[in-house]
Amino acid sequence: MSYVGASAVAVNPMNAAEYHGINLIVVNRRMKVAELVLRVLICALGVLAATLMVTDTQVMVFFSIQKKAKFTDMKALVFLVIANGIAAFYSFLQLLRCVVSLAKGSVLFNKPLAWAIFSGDQVVAYLTVAAWAAALQSSVYAKLGQSELQWMKLCQFYGKFCNRGGEGLASAVMASLCTVIVSAISAFSLFRLYGGANAKTTTGW
């Protein structure tokens, strides 16, 4: 009697495999949507950060002498602009790939393509993190000064410039966080291909 009951509730291996396959499709779909949204955010925030920095200027008059503050006065801000421009451009290219892939359906996610995307995402993530970290350090010196080196608190004189620069830096930090998450997604997509049998059937971007 117990044998009959056990067989009645036994799970069919074919049904289990089908259920597992459906779960993988759902997970893949959600990862694709997440990647798409994140790359849109990187593009938008990267362009916003670069634009805020490039257009950030303020003119002050000291003893009838005009002094104009601009982002090129700080090499760290120049690096930040370049890094965010690269991140936005790269993410735009990847965004086009994502849109085309969605329109055509799933494409075989081969290992060379996975490695290329993973490598690109890693480079962009490290680049953006290094850029905002350097800009943050320079901004702290501009805000607080350094008495030991006789560096003045420049933000006391260029308040508008510092406030707008802070907005650009905040946008850069958010864009950088998105690149880190995207790099984690691409890493998961890559190393999943080395999961034995799943590597032969996994599809994606």
| Residues above pLDDT 90, as percent of the chain | 31
Q: Report pLDDT for 180.
A: 95
Q: Report pLDDT for 201.
A: 45
pTM above 0.85, yes or no: no
Closest CA to 43 of 115, 82, 93, 4: 93
Q: Report pLDDT for 13.
A: 45
- Low-confidence stretches of the chain (pLDDT < 70) are 1-27, 59-62, 64, 105-109, 143-153, 195-205
Q: Report pLDDT for 148.
A: 57
CA distance 30 to 201: 18
Q: Report pLDDT for 8.
A: 43
Q: Which H or E run includes 62?
A: strand 57-62
CA 11 to chain centre: 42
Q: Report pLDDT for 5.
A: 47
CA contacts within 13 A on the Cβ side of 29: 7
Q: Report pLDDT for 14.
A: 44
CA distance 195 to 122: 21
Q: Report pLDDT for 16.
A: 40
